Amino acid sequence: MLRLFFALCVTLLPALPSSAQDTSLPALHVTDWILGDPDDVGTWGDGRVYVLDLWGTWCSPCIENIPNLTRLQDAYKDRGLVVVGYSWEAAETLRPFVAQMGDRMRYVVVSDTAEVTIGALAERGEVQGFPYAFLVDATGTVVWKGHPEDDDLGGAVARLFTTR
């Protein structure tokens, strides 16, 4: 049902600008830790910078973007960046996919089969297709959102760290 909702959203809603207003994200709900563990992720505003990437194994652009997210994680992890790949697919689907990706996917990956976080974002009209990412600064404020490649997520991360 939720996938049908997202398909309609992508088709019917106008695109929003990728620069975010001062907003916060709903809490990250996790049913399974696929790569990483709870110690790797705190709460928005815990002093670290987060990229929350909404993705699915069925989404070709999402898969193409995985190496870019890994490069971001590698480049900024020592400065406090945490990339979180968020999917609502079952762990049984995600684990073999992540294993197959190997070193190309070196960031936290979580599953939320209850669709709590994605549901809250959808209710607020925050998701405009897939992949879709949010950049959350150290105070918990969403400072950028959009398609991670088309809208230059890497540039937004770099700008955020030059002002820190």
Q: Which domains does the chain have, with CATH numbers?
A: 22-162 (3.40.30.10)
Task: Say if residue 88's pLDDT is above 70.
Answer: yes
Position 7 scores a pLDDT of: 41
- Mean pLDDT computed over 116-122: 92
> Which has the higher per-residue pLDDT, 23 or 25?
25
What is the token pair recorded at 102? 């190997």
18, 57, 130, 138 from 142: Cα distances, Å: 11, 25, 18, 10
Task: Say if residue 22's pLDDT is above 50.
Answer: no
**Predicted TM-score of the model (pTM):** 0.85
What is the token pair recorded at 47? 């002093």
Rounded Cα distance, 71 and 25, in Å:
24
Position 17 scores a pLDDT of: 40
Position 125 scores a pLDDT of: 87
Position 28 scores a pLDDT of: 94
